[in-house]
Amino acid sequence: MPATVRLIDDVRPEESDHDFLPGMRRAWLMPWYDLTARLRGVHRLYRRTVEIAGITAGQHVLDVGCGTGNLSREVLRATPDAVVTGLDPDGDSLRRAARKLRRRRSGDVTLIRGFAHRLPVPDASQDHVVSSLALHHVPLAEKQQLAAELVRVLRPGGLVTIADFAGDHAGDHAAGHGRGHRHGGEGHQPGHGPGSTAYDADNADGGIEKLLTAAGLEDARALERMPLLGDSVVFVQARRA
C-alpha cells in the first residue's frame, strides 16, 4: 500500500511576505538539491540524525525545515510506523518531498508549508522533533521563537535532535549550504533577500545548546561531530522535562 502523504498550506496572510533562505540559497537551484546532496554524501547525515534520535514505532515526529523530505524519508526507512510531520516554508520543495515519499510502500506523512517560529502542531503532541541543516538558515530571533515552540509541542520526556553546522569554521558549503557573509543572526543587513546570508555563526561556542537550554529544555548537549562539505556538523540533543 502506498504511503499516505498530505500537503497543507499553513502560511497566514500576515506571513505571506516572510523571507526564508532556500536549501540551495536560491530558489532556482532547488531542482538540483537532491542530486547535489547525494553526490556530496549528505545522506549519511540524515542516517546519523535518525540513529541518534532513536525513534520507535508509532511515535510522532516533527521534521523542522524538511525541505525535499530526505530526513523524513530516513525516519520512515528506519521506523516505518512513525507518524511524521514535515515543516518547510518552500512550497516547491514540499511538492518534491511529497512525490518522493509517495513512492514508499508505507508511511503516514503530513507536509506543511509554514515557518519555524510557529510550529503547526498541538501542544505536547510530538515524541521527537528533528532537524538537519536548517537552523543556520534562520535568524537568531526566530531561532529563539522556535526553541520556545519546541517546549510547547514536545511531550514530557520528548527529545529534539538537531544536526547543523557548528559555526566555527570559515569557508563555503556545497549543496547550497554556503555561509555567504559570516555574522551572528541579527546582523542580517536590510535589503538582503533570501539566499544572501546564513546564520550559522549563531551556532558557534555551543550556541545550539545555549539556545535550547534558555528555552527551558533539559540536558542540552552536543553528542558528536561529523565532517561534511568541508566543514563540521554538530549533533545536539535536548529533552523536555
Task: Give per-residue pLDDT as tens, 84-114.
Answer: 999 999 999 999 999 989 987 777 899 999 9
pTM, rounded to two decimals: 0.85
CA distance 38 to 141: 32
Residue 130, C-alpha cell as written in the block: 528533528
Burial 151-171 (b: 16+ CB within 10 A, else e): bbbbeeebbbbbbbbbbeeee
Query: Average pLDDT, whole number, for the chain?
Result: 84
- 111-155, pLDDT tens digit by residue? 999 999 999 999 999 999 999 999 998 999 999 999 999 999 999
CA distance 216 to 235: 19
User: pLDDT value at position 228?
Assistant: 87
Determine the straight-line distance between the first and last CA of the chain, rounded to whole angstroms.
Answer: 38
Determine the average pLDDT of the residues in 211-222.
Answer: 98
Q: Judge whether 217 and 240 are in contact, CB under 8 Å.
A: yes
CA distance 207 to 184: 10
Q: Judge whether 84 and 76 are in contact, CB under 8 Å.
A: yes
Cα radius of gyration rounded to whole Å, the chain? 16
Residue 53, C-alpha cell as written in the block: 534520535
- 7-39, pLDDT tens digit by residue? 999 999 988 877 776 655 555 456 656 656 666
Phi, psi of 80 (to 5 degrees): -60, -25
The residue type of 211 is L
3-state secondary structure of 137: helix
